[in-house]
Each structure stands twice: as structure tokens, then as C-alpha cells.
Copies of this chain bind each other. A is one copy, B any other.
């Protein structure tokens, strides 16, 4: 049996899942981030599956999503990259709140996510060694190039618009995996992608795999591809994520 609570950490409303009776016990813990225009509730099956495997799971709503959504779809659709950046900015506060509440056993904190959430997880990994293991499903760490085709923040037809575009993306440059290969190679990393992904191209994951391999930095990398799958999470992807965190965060069998 598992229990699921609605709970705020660091002022952010989250879905909080635990194995039965272990709410206040230090546990291996995963912070998991949902996708764009979705919500923590729609992605809560990750919380169900991970908690069933013995983990604590905390799933925040991203800015302008779920409990933080004001219904303004037109504005939100232009703010993918700002919201992604805000996810990364909010990570340390969530991490600190969980650690201070003694909910994480021995630093065993994992970070995962799908789509925009996967991009968040990768960005967090570049900056925060406290993310002990990271899973990025159908995501990308090449933000600056991807922003031209995936939810661009504005249309660029003149130099002023180019300046605005660059200004919006600028804070993400430091998180680009391109400049951060060493910082994502030193801990376990799982990348999963459907080969026919029609939203975030599977090539984004291939590119990162090849970059790590080229520098001999792929010793902690697990790459999984699923043929014939578009931009969706399959049972196989979910199972792989659960196995990955159960192993890398050393969950004790019940």
C-alpha cells in the first residue's frame, strides 16, 4: 500500500507519495518534474510506481501549471523556456526543505522528469551534486538550439526580436549540457526516448549520448530507446525509471 498527500514544500504545492506508514521516516527520495501544459496530477503515475517500489516521491507543479495555473494559455505557451528555468531555480529550495524535514535518508536524493521535466532534471544535474542520480525521459539538454523549434518564446523577424529571444534564453546557457559534460558524467544518468518522438526529437538524446561517448564519459550513462513510440511514456519507460532509481538510490527491499 502507498499513501499520497497534497503538501507544500518551500511554499510550492506538491504531490507527496510514500510507502504506507513511512511518511515521517527518512527514505530514498525522488523529486520528479512533469511536462509542459500538463500537471503534477497527470504525471502522478510516476509517484505511484516509485512509491510502490519503496521510494518517497515529491512532485511539484511547475510555474503556471496545475495549482499555479491562472488559465492564461496564450501567455503560457510563450513561456516554456522561462518556466523551465524557474524549475531549475526552485530546485535548491525544494531540496533544502526535504532535507531539513529529515525526509531524505543519507543524501539519497534522485531527480527525474519527462519532457520539460526531463530537461529540468538534466539542468539540475549540471549544477547540483546533491542530485545523486538523474532520469531524463524524452527530454534534451541542448536548450539554446532547441528553443528555435520547440515552443520558441517569440517569433524573430528583426534584430530587436533577436535581442529579446537571446535575453530570454541567456539564463539557460550555463545549464546547457554542451558545457557541462563532466558534471553529468560523474553520477548515474538514465536517458529514455521514444524513437518516433514528434515533440522532442529522439536525436536530442542521441546527441548527448554521442558527446559523452566521444569523451569517454559514458561510464555512468544508461540510454534506452523504444522503437515506434512517439512523445509518450510507455510501461517500459516507467519500469526502467523505477528500476533505475531503486538501484541507484539503494532502496532496501521491503
Contacts A42-B45, A238-B42; A2 near B3 (Cβ below 8 A): yes
Q: Could you jot down 13 A-B contacts, CB within 8 Å?
A: A1-B3, A3-B20, A4-B48, A4-B52, A6-B52, A39-B235, A39-B238, A41-B45, A41-B52, A41-B235, A42-B233, A43-B45, A44-B44
Q: Are B235 and A66 in contact, with the CB atoms below 8 A?
A: yes
The reply to whether the CB of A37 lies closer than 8 angstroms to some CB of chain B is: yes
Contacts A42-B235, A235-B41; A1 near B1 (Cβ below 8 A): no
A22 CB to closest chain B CB (Å) equals 13
The reply to whether the CB of A234 lies closer than 8 angstroms to some CB of chain B is: yes
Residues of A in contact with B (beta carbons under 8 Å apart): 1-6, 15, 20, 37-39, 41-45, 47-49, 52, 65-66, 69, 232-235, 238
Q: Are A238 and B41 in contact, with the CB atoms below 8 A?
A: yes
Chain B residues near A238: list those with CB within 8 A: 39, 41-42
What 20 additional pairs, Cβ within 8 angstroms, besides A1-B4, A39-B235, A69-B235?
A: A2-B4, A3-B20, A6-B52, A15-B48, A37-B235, A41-B45, A41-B48, A41-B49, A41-B52, A41-B238, A42-B233, A42-B234, A42-B235, A42-B238, A44-B44, A44-B45, A44-B49, A45-B48, A48-B48, A66-B235
CA of A238 to CA of B45, assembled, Å: 13
Question: How many copies are assembled?
Answer: 2
> Which 6 pairs from chain A and chain B are nearest by CB?
A39-B235, A44-B48, A44-B45, A2-B4, A45-B45, A1-B5
CA of A45 to CA of B52, assembled, Å: 14
Q: Are B3 and A3 in contact, with the CB atoms below 8 A?
A: yes
CA of A117 to CA of B42, assembled, Å: 17
CA of A102 to CA of B4, assembled, Å: 24
Residue in B closest to A238 when the chains form the complex, CB atoms: B42
